[in-house]
Homo-oligomer: A and B are copies of this chain.
Amino acid sequence: MLDKTLRMNYLFDFYQALLTPKQRKYMSLYYLDDFSLGEIAEEFEVSRQAVYDNIKRTEAMLEEYEHKLLLLSKFEERSKLMTDLKTAVTSNATPEETIELINSLEKLD
């Protein structure tokens, strides 16, 4: 399991197109630019609590999208298989072994 910040960075990357501009802005400042809740609140002239609530709701939405679409989970499986595939190619695995890895990759879609 990835640590919380890293996981949110990934989920944000995969699903940010589904968020509102405000959600995107808060998440980006908080998770990518490492702003504090207080700093974001000041920037947008809202309460710290409002920023906190918005970010918590957005985090829950991102987890729900991941629960439904599994983009991060499939990305992780695909990355692992691609590493295996590169190892197979550079260590002269047989074509059959290599094709089997490509078939596993195809099944992930």
Contacts and interface: CB of A to CB of B under 8 A. Distances in A.
- If over half of A's interface residues share one DSSP class (helix, strand or loop), that class is named, otherwise mixed; here it is helix
A71 B17 CA distance: 12
Contact of A109 (B68, B75, B95): B75
A20 interface: no
Contacts of A85: 102
A29 B18 CA distance: 27
A78 interface: yes
11 contacts: A15-B69, A69-B69, A69-B71, A75-B109, A78-B109, A82-B106, A86-B99, A86-B102, A89-B89, A89-B95, A90-B99
Interface of A: 15, 17-18, 65, 68-69, 71, 75, 78-79, 82, 85-86, 89-90, 92, 95, 98-99, 102, 105-106, 109
